[in-house]
Structure 1
Amino acid sequence: MKDSGNSFHARHLKRALDYVMNPEKTQRGRLVGAINCQADMAFEQMIDTKKQFGKTDKRQGYHIILSFKEDEVEPDRAFEITQKFVAEYLGDAYEVVFVVHDNTDHVHSHIVFNSVSFVDGKKYRYEKGDWAKYIQPITNKLCQEYGLSIIDVEDGSKEKQH
């Protein structure tokens, strides 16, 4: 998970969304998806959710980056995997924009989501150890399904499993 420090305020949320949805990195927007919001209106919808629950202060969003081994996955497959990850990890509780960038040597996904649940107004909490406990098992399961490299949760090393 990319951690932008303790100051992920509204302007940082807007910048993150603008950056990840850059048409030059997402095949002119073809590799942009959203759950529980519209990608082109995500920032406004996220801010509206915060206002509705009176939670416009402190951290405004989170940014997860999923990287795939170089030349191991095509952008469309990475998009499918990312969409499944978002559905399983964040479910129906948060407004989420997810994209695939294919403008570098390795395909990677960006996931930017609201810090406030539009369902109950609770703030997302990420604590030390959550990556290994919750996130990595989901990514490993999905990568195994698609025959891709996974990371050993115990020691963080990459290994190949099919």
Structure 2
Amino acid sequence: MRALIQRVTRASVTVDGEQTGAIGPGVLALVCAMRGDTEADAEKLAAKLSKLRIFEDDAGKMNRSLLDSGGAALVVSQFTLAADTSRGNRPGFSEAADPETGRRLYEHFATHLAGLGPKVETGRFAADMAVELVNDGPITIWLDIPPASA
């Protein structure tokens, strides 16, 4: 599984004029299930995100995790993270999981992350979403968990 993590002071997602999720300080996680990914991969990614030390401690060092900071997570599905731009100018998405698997793993990721402790809000899978955020830092981290079968 793959995720783009942004440390935020606030973030929200809206679908058809309805806000489906909003957080204060924490992370915006744009998440993509890749072909071959499993629930175990979603759990590894959630664990990695929850422990990723990207929040400042009292000395101003990035030494605190989402769990340590008490921050929240806004989890948004983003199949375009699977884009292959190696040939031509039109991205290919053949490495993304099929929609049914993608939905299952996205939901499993969000549920597992919430079970680890942080408040989790979500977007709506496969919807046209408007995401707003205030990137804090800016801190943006790419996380890639190769499939267990790889």
Q: TM-score range by the shorter chain?
A: 0.3 to 0.5
Structure 1 or 2: more strand by fraction: 2
TM-score scaled to structure 2, two decimals? 0.35
Q: Which has the higher contact order (CA 8 A, sep 6+)?
A: 2
TM-score scaled to structure 1, two decimals? 0.33
